[in-house]
Structure 1
Amino acid sequence: MLNWNALLDKPFGPYLFYGEEQLSMDRVIEQVKTSFVDGTYEEFNLILLDGADLTQDRLFSAVERLPVFASKKVVLIKNFVETLKTFQDDYLTFFDTPHQDTLIIFLDYDNELNKSTKLYKMFKDKGRAWHFAPLKPQELRRFLENKLAAHSVTFTPSDISYLAQKTGYGSRNRDVRLYELDNELNKLIGASDGYLSRENIDQLYSTSADTNIFNFLDALALKKSRAVYKELANLHDLGEPLGRIFYMVARQYKHLLQYKIRSGRISDKQLMDELGVKAFEFKKIKTYGDRYTLNALQTIYQELLDYDHTVKTRSVVEGPLFEALIMSILQKS
């Protein structure tokens, strides 16, 4: 259980945020911003560092410079796992001489940090590692209730139980995350007319994009072009955000590449734990991974990274660019 008061008691030095639930993590980051960063001077006192292009000078400059017209500044470091060989000793110094005016948060959105590293052990030993784990059943019910109540939707306890079951959250056969669930709840709220009904719940999950997106991913991995474009059209008709479709494609091919690299070197159980997937999904990963060469998967993953960088840094029309990406993936083997 996360203890917000513990961070309020020691709002300085390094913390690690890691785990499977990015929505939970992002909400706590918003609390951090509200609590410690004056919006007027956010440009100076909220610093985001990306490990992908981090240098030692940028790292220490961000941490050591004084807050501007404030007593506190916040430094967020993402994509830091790949930089451990270069910066781990630098990161560890933050524990030795914590700056009282600086809160440093390491963001491991993909839960990639090896738990045997010195850095993770230091976070753990100091009580500064916060795990954003999937919700337990009672926590899921509370999440659903709070979301609906915030939009003045009335409900009964039995309907909440029914909705929790229909979402598939926590199911062995599905990998549902809170961002996806939150998006589904928005659709349900829009159709609720102020009251949660089982009819609306059933209607949502009978026309949910989930089935289509998993059909789309299966068809893409199996290189079934006609099915790929059919499911992509269905997703478009359902209003599924292109960003989420891309996220799911990137996630699938990241897993396939990891499987291809590690398969045969460790047991399936160890590999399944490394990937953070359940048996149902791991079976698919094995099946699809064997259909590609390592070189093909490396090329696909680089193309995915290039696409992500392009849409985030340039003004482009995403639709045609995404279709070109999918066409390129279909041609790899």
Structure 2
Amino acid sequence: MIIFLYGSDIFRAKEKLEELKSRFLEKKNGNSFLISTTESLDFDLADFRNKVLSSGFFAENKMAILKIQENKKTKKAENKMEEKETLEVIKKIPEETILIVWEQSGDEKFLKSDLGKYLLKQKFIYSFNVLSGNELIGWIRKRVAFYGCEIDNESAILIAEILGNDLCKIDLEINKLCLFIIGSKEIESKKISRKIVEELLSRQAEENIFKFIDALAGKNRRLAFLSLQNELSAGAGELALLGMVVRQIRILLQIKSMQGILKKDEVAKELGIHPYVAQKSLQQARNFQDNELKNIYRGLLQIDMAIKSSSSPARAMFDRLISRI
């Protein structure tokens, strides 16, 4: 039997792999020696052939896993496999062997190869593309239910806006939110409200944006690049990230226009923001000249237009903005 998992959503694919392994081990009394793993970045044809074709005197079901990994720089499938020879081995797999091939990038070039085409013809195929839109919101709501809580559509959308589509990060934060609610004596229901998401997740996102703005103010290009990279690598959506930075720069411009208002409570009331945000913003506003903030704001509007028109990569324009400070 051949089972093919593919796509760039590593989180869901890994979950499926673990599910298949668990079901296999249940039938084999937990005998993990019947499961072997081969990785494409360290592939040896003879070793792979031995794992999938060899059998003892008493033939017994075994599971072999072949991971076709992603090159982190090119985001393409990368391997040392001799695909033609590997395909010939796969075609000879005996009935008692379960082979799971996990392609971890959704690389079209691999899927169009002879090996990819053969795998796509198998009976058991699972595709894991990166979730977005309603599919992502639906997944968030199901994940919250998995941890024993509830969430409405509006709050689930807010989680997606703050965290992007990195399911690993979303799962971690949902788990934290549910643990907080279940362990809180002040919250009677097990529902994650928009207020809770804003208080627990938005504060974290705001801290990251504060670091980015501080780096711009200090003309620290290296730290600004690093802060941006950390946010994007963690799964933050480009539009969501841009929106948070634009909001903060707008707050700083508004503070600059407030003659004589220097107390955080007054700023918070005037702008309708949290006192903590007001305090941080007052500190940041002192580090910028008016024209610097206006130039940054204009640059952010250009990035917004680029994202919406797809005329230029947003990341490249962010980098250009940082390089000009």
| TM-score interval (norm. to shorter) | 0.5 to 0.7
Counterpart contact for 2:64–2:100, Cα < 8 Å: yes
Letter in 1 for 2:315: K
How many Å separate the matches in 2 of 1:94 and 1:110?
23
Q: 1:196-207, aligned counterparts within 5 Å?
A: 196-207=192-203
How many Å separate the matches in 2 of 1:248 and 1:95?
35
Q: Of 158, 166, 180, which aligns to 2:158?
A: 166
Partner in structure 1 of residue 92 of structure 2: 97
SS in 2 for 1:40: coil
Q: Of 19, 24, 48, which aligns to 2:12?
A: 24
Counterpart contact for 1:41–1:68, Cα < 8 Å: no
Partner in structure 2 of residue 152 of structure 1: 148
**Structure 1 residues 40 and 141: CA distance shift in structure 2, 3 A:** same
> Which protein is bigger by CA-based radius of gyration?
2
Counterpart contact for 2:5–2:128, Cα < 8 Å: yes
How many Å separate the matches in 1 of 2:145 and 2:11?
18
Partner in structure 2 of residue 224 of structure 1: 221
Counterpart contact for 1:51–1:78, Cα < 8 Å: yes
How many Å separate the matches in 2 of 1:214 and 1:105?
45
Partner in structure 2 of residue 263 of structure 1: none
Q: Of 50, 55, 68, which aligns to 2:44?
A: 55
TM-score (norm 1): 0.55
Letter in 1 for 2:34: N
Counterpart contact for 2:4–2:122, Cα < 8 Å: no
Partner in structure 2 of residue 179 of structure 1: 168
SS in 1 for 2:102: strand
Q: 1:268-287, aligned counterparts within 5 Å?
A: 279=310, 282-285=313-316
Counterpart contact for 1:19–1:110, Cα < 8 Å: yes
How many Å separate the matches in 2 of 1:66 and 1:60?
11
Confirm whether residue 40 of structure 1 aligns to residue 30 of structure 2. yes
Q: Of 169, 180, 188, which aligns to 2:177?
A: 188
Q: Of 110, 122, 131, which aligns to 2:118?
A: 122
**Structure 1 residues 133 and 74: CA distance shift in structure 2, 3 A:** same
TM-score (norm 2): 0.57
How many Å separate the matches in 2 of 1:150 and 1:83?
36
Question: How many residue pairs end up in the alignment?
Answer: 229
Partner in structure 2 of residue 255 of structure 1: none
Q: 1:212 offset after TM fit, Å?
A: 2.3
Q: 1:179 offset after TM fit, Å?
A: 0.9
Q: 1:65 offset after TM fit, Å?
A: 2.6
**Structure 1 residues 215 and 46: CA distance shift in structure 2, 3 A:** farther
Counterpart contact for 1:47–1:76, Cα < 8 Å: yes
How many Å separate the matches in 2 of 1:247 and 1:280?
19
List alignment gaps of at least 5 residues for structure 2. Answer: 70-76, 185-189, 235-308
Counterpart contact for 1:62–1:75, Cα < 8 Å: yes
**Structure 1 residues 127 and 227: CA distance shift in structure 2, 3 A:** same
Q: 1:65-84, aligned counterparts within 5 Å?
A: 65-66=54-55, 71-79=60-68, 81-83=77-79
Q: 1:34 offset after TM fit, Å?
A: 1.4
**Structure 1 residues 287 and 200: CA distance shift in structure 2, 3 A:** closer
How many Å separate the matches in 2 of 1:90 and 1:206?
52
Letter in 2 for 1:89: K
How many Å separate the matches in 2 of 1:95 and 1:107?
14
Q: 1:214 offset after TM fit, Å?
A: 11
SS in 2 for 1:206: helix
Counterpart contact for 1:63–1:102, Cα < 8 Å: yes
Partner in structure 1 of residue 238 of structure 2: none
- Structure 1, 159-168 or 141-150: larger mean CA deviation: 141-150
How many Å separate the matches in 2 of 1:16 and 1:113?
15
**Structure 1 residues 95 and 163: CA distance shift in structure 2, 3 A:** same
Q: 1:138 offset after TM fit, Å?
A: 5.0
Letter in 2 for 1:248: S
Cα deviation 1:91-138 (Å, max 9, x = unaligned): 222453232121222222232351321121222233554210233655
Identity level (%): 19
List alignment gaps of at least 5 residues for structure 1. Answer: 1-11, 233-243, 250-277, 293-333
**Structure 1 residues 67 and 50: CA distance shift in structure 2, 3 A:** farther
Partner in structure 1 of residue 187 of structure 2: none
- Structure 1, 49-58 or 103-112: larger mean CA deviation: 103-112
How many Å separate the matches in 2 of 1:195 and 1:142?
16
